[in-house]
Structure 1
């Protein structure tokens, strides 16, 4: 079972961009600062819910697009993908950078396993408007014509990378505790005031990666 290295690098590069998800990081910081009972379990439930939701959506999209893509000429598909990449890069320059009120998942009123599952699904739905890297990765895996065994592994790696910030923040909190409180509060305020700027960067870089993946393999080596 082999996968083109350019496809793997492009998908994982987009996964690294998705690590900057403002909603997931903000919710993780909120939980760590609130310090509810069984916080470790609650955070794990939340992160697993987000990861599983994106994984299952990816499976559905891959199966659906996998049936459609063979009917599209590869050259036409590459032009479509390249055009989308350029369009995303251009669009990133026009995204408002000022924060908007009410553009983040609601904080839970109670800290239970059920509320964490709901919060994970809420994050999943909320993140649709910033899920450009995710959908770009799905498109790249589909256009590469990967067998199911390959794209399942790559999709699984993508969602694991995507939730890594939550895991890293929890480990930092577990090791340093009170010494991280002030820093976490500062990061939380920064996320609330710079979400638009982060989204602009995420979409712009995702557009570049999608465009580069659409180039012929000989050109992709030169630019990559």
Structure 2
């Protein structure tokens, strides 16, 4: 597994840290100050990470079985269509709704909320699916893609972990800033999501072009 593949996949993971749901729910729980905050946030963030890891593993295993029997040229043209569609769609991204909120502070509720976050953001997890496609195209061994996928989902929930650690370290001194962040509308979220979709679309088109025009177009993860 080359450093280029690692860098590309983890770079896509950094795009996924821009998701508002993990940040919003983490701030909501911290500011509400329930008992067992550590257990509740650990359950929530763990559920989000586990759901994405499980989905990624299923996609990797499924794609690994299907891709070899599909004509490479046909698959590449399919990637071109998908990538161009994403590039066009990046200019027409609708404004996102508010992130879901926790209604009760129980471990079970936080587990369900974590799964709800996964479902809520499933349709916009474009960098995630681009990363899965890149790892599949690279033909990584199971141990390699599992480690890389694990790092990806850890980076996805990193903002929540960092907010939690900041709260543990600074306590009430962070309340004013956290309340501002929670109350502030997601200004610029449309532009941010547009850039995320555009970058993912570009990477998909580049991967397809490397298949259709070998020797002319090269990508670092191949």
- TM, length-normalised to structure 2: 0.87
| Mapping 1:64-213, distance limit 5 Å | 64-97=62-95, 99-100=96-97, 103-105=98-100, 107-213=101-207
CA shift in 2, pair 1:9/1:81, >3 Å: farther
SS at match of 2:92: coil
* 1:15 counterpart residue number: 13
Task: Check whether the contact 1:96–1:197 (CA below 8 A) recurs between aligned residues.
Answer: no
Per-residue displacement from partner, 1:47-85 (whole Å, max 9, x unpaired)?
Answer: 001101111111111111111100123344344334423
* 2:2 counterpart residue number: 4
Q: Distance in 2 between matches of 1:191 and 1:133?
A: 23
- TM, length-normalised to structure 1: 0.87
**Consecutive unaligned residues in structure 2, runs of 5 or more:** none
Task: Check whether the contact 1:87–1:207 (CA below 8 A) recurs between aligned residues.
Answer: yes
Give the C-alpha shift of residue 40 in structure 1: 1.4
CA shift in 2, pair 1:50/1:138, >3 Å: same
Give the C-alpha shift of residue 192 in structure 1: 3.9
SS at match of 2:184: helix
Task: Check whether the contact 2:206–2:219 (CA below 8 A) recurs between aligned residues.
Answer: no
Task: Check whether the contact 1:50–1:123 (CA below 8 A) recurs between aligned residues.
Answer: yes
Task: Check whether the contact 1:26–1:191 (CA below 8 A) recurs between aligned residues.
Answer: no
Give the C-alpha shift of residue 29 in structure 1: 1.1
Q: Distance in 2 between matches of 1:33 and 1:213?
A: 44
